[in-house]
Chain A
């Protein structure tokens, strides 16, 4: 495995399977009464969050703590960043404090990549702008594999605001690596321009895609990133691309409903669908800790690879 985890494309098929297999073993830790392993004792993980997040930050923190690493949480609010400190100076400060890994969430696509050039430790991308969120893709793949077995040949529909979604991009890349067939579904305005170069199919018609999907992953409509009118009204969006009971009835019986959270209930997903037994939304949160433990263990648990990238 590479030293950093910036993009889901950094992972070869073997890397990805190693992470998922490791997560399978680590999942048992969550069922024990002592949910802790001594593996990363004495290592420091810094959570560097320039953007709001609850589940991802808590998930990384829980994962690091279960492996006995020391965790330093840094959020941009209330830090020197609000005084105008640059990313590089923040990075150098962390470096001086001896961080073995930096988990970074940033509103600018590419920030983790820049950071990786400045620090000695491993950099883990916890979401950068509209670019990537590789650990989310790993936990999604892990959730699918636990429910469905192998991902080879499985059909996954990713539905909604693809344009603003780092989750979609990371999932497409990772799922393609793992042999699944991905179809992105969205209104034409919510596709990125270069989407035809992604390893997936594209559709505008949710109802046509649903009956042949093993997994339907709904994306949050990211209003905070929308600076133009991408669809006429929320109601119309919801009618054409929202997952309600009638649409779920058209899916195969074994098919899963996923959502990376946070959800807009009633917008992209109906409340009763989100709470139904085929929804894995709560499971995804639990699996997030496990998948991130696997990533931290594989990046930090072994010998220091000394600058190799």
Chain B
């Protein structure tokens, strides 16, 4: 997952086009919340774990929707996968994100991992390894706002906001209100960078 923060908004006004706008994102999240409730028989036993940074915001939003629909408070946490990545040696050591598990842990729970963009699948692999050291969930599922394809590992999402066919040279950027002041998913050509 590649994030470019500060320079993002100015680029977005150029030739990049928004694949999802604010209302599209919230519709997608509402649908995913319903799907999670459907697949997990009302969200019993579910724990939502967001992958920092934006996955955590998405997980909180999903929990809020679930609370609204079913009245059930699903535990939300964050799972930083930095120490488990397989590409650490390709870049200088990076700062760690936050890992915060719900008080009751993840043993025997249905863990839904939440991330913003699913691409090579390597982040998810790292997340699975991290989970392995933290406990033994009954099942692990994967929710992503955007699936842009180009998997390099046998990993598939259970819940997808939008399937977005991309070229490898393109860049998908996700902006969320909590982090970037607005909701949007942009697709940029390489030369827009």
Contact = CB atoms under 8 A, between A and B. Distances in A.
Chains A and B bind each other: yes
A305 interface: yes
A1 B88 CA distance: 16
Contact of A25 (B90, B92, B93, B98): B98
A37 interface: yes
B2 interface: no
A30 to B, nearest CB: 13
Dominant SS at the A interface? loop
A295 to B, nearest CB: 10
Contact of A302 (B91, B98, B99): B91
Contacts of A26: 96
Interface residues on B, range: 10 to 19
B129 to A, nearest CB: 7
A238 interface: no
A32 interface: yes
A305 to B, nearest CB: 7
A236 interface: no
A192 to B, nearest CB: 34
A304 interface: yes
Contacts, number: 47
Interface residues on A, range: 20 to 34
A36 interface: yes
B99 A28 contact: yes
Contacts of A302: 88-89, 91-94
Nearest to B135: A33
A205 B129 CA distance: 55
Nearest to A68: B83
A18 B83 CA distance: 15
17 contacts: A18-B95, A22-B96, A25-B96, A25-B98, A25-B99, A36-B133, A37-B83, A38-B83, A39-B83, A39-B84, A39-B88, A297-B93, A298-B93, A301-B83, A302-B94, A303-B91, A303-B92
Given A302-B89, A302-B93, 18 more contacts: A18-B95, A25-B96, A25-B97, A25-B98, A32-B134, A34-B133, A34-B134, A36-B133, A37-B83, A37-B133, A38-B83, A39-B84, A297-B93, A299-B93, A303-B91, A303-B92, A304-B89, A305-B92
Interface of B: 80, 83-84, 88-99, 129, 133-134
